[in-house]
Copies of this chain bind each other. A is one copy, B any other.
């Protein structure tokens, strides 16, 4: 009823000392059955709720962890957040979810907030060259786990997808349809997944003996607009590609729009393969072939690792496999793609 009922109140009502009350409520074994009962009752009657800040201040454990994603509105990261959060909850940890919004400054702001709030650990999908507050966290010996992305020069456990495998699945799939000119819509070099995917793609070009025209490789920033711009650049080149590979869902949507705007049809005039399996990708026209990772598992695993580190364990990095989900956006074979004729 009252705004703030403290342990003292509970103790008074139960007729014991605050020490005893504290021991009962935090489940210490050194308590009598009688005390347990009376304290529990008093706490319930008074509607007592422990003050997490006070406890944390005294016991150096806040039972809160920070989760910093690069863009909450990206369904991929929303899923990661969901997975991580559920796992934390199961260990009665509270998750502070923050959104860097693909902005290095905001990333630093929130890392600072995490430090100030004295969370027990941080999971981050980092961006930028990792100078800023990431080093500060490390120096403060804050338990840290990277998810999806990593930063060079940090000895931090990570949970990532097997990007090389993903690219390989995509390229092999396109090659099987006879494509040799694949337009690559990549991520920014400042993000590890951007780099890993590009290098895997370059390898694939060599391995499958594809057209290595540098004009076929265009960089984006994991946002929708950049996918459109990249698509425009690729399609307006003198010898446009017969297939497009976008390494992020948002950029794929952007590219799709651009393709449409030009009156071309995906899966008909042009093949398209995207990264990330977003729930509604199957509803697009045509349904999009994707290379997918289990975002929820990514988040859940990262949280498990973090809780390990917090509890003094030494977590090993995990690489999760990707898988190809073939759908109609990539059914067009290379030869027909050039001919632009209807079926």
Contact = CB atoms under 8 A, between A and B. Distances in A.
Interface in A97-146: 97-99, 101, 106, 109, 112-113, 115-118, 136, 139-141
A117 B99 contact: no
Nearest to A94: B113
Nearest to A96: B96
Contact of A139 (B1, B75, B113): B1
Interface in A269-314: 279-280, 282-285
Interface stretch (A50-58, A201-209, A230-238): A50-58
A248 interface: no
Interface in A25-69: 47, 49-54, 56-57, 62, 64
By CB atoms of chain B within 10 A, which of A54, A72, A106, A257 has the most?
A72
Contact of A53 (B3, B56, B113): B56
A117 B81 contact: no
A224 interface: yes
By CB atoms of chain B within 10 A, which of A53, A62, A117, A285 has the most?
A53
**How often does this chain occur in the complex, in copies?**
2
A226 B194 CA distance: 37
A79 interface: yes
Interface residues of A, number: 53
B82 A109 contact: no
A82 B72 contact: yes
A105 to B, nearest CB: 11
Given A53-B53, A54-B57, A73 B75 contact: yes
B283 A118 contact: no
Given A47-B136, A116-B52, A279-B224, A99 B72 contact: no
A82 B56 CA distance: 28
Contact of A285 (B53, B73, B89, B285): B285
B94 A97 contact: no
Interface of A: 1, 3, 47, 49-54, 56-57, 62, 64, 72-73, 75, 78-79, 81-82, 85-86, 89, 94-99, 101, 106, 109, 112-113, 115-118, 136, 139-141, 224, 253, 256-257, 260, 279-280, 282-285
A193 to B, nearest CB: 21
By CB atoms of chain B within 10 A, which of A72, A112, A280, A282 has the most?
A280
Contacts of A284: 280, 283-285
Nearest to A53: B53
A61 to B, nearest CB: 11
Given A3-B140, A85-B99, A117 B52 contact: yes
Contacts of A99: 81-82, 85
B53 A283 contact: no
Contacts of A115: 49
Contact of A253 (B62, B64, B253, B283): B283
A53 B118 contact: yes
Contacts of A109: 89
A289 to B, nearest CB: 16
Lowest 5 CB-CB distances: which A-B pairs, in order?
A285-B285, A97-B97, A53-B53, A52-B116, A73-B78
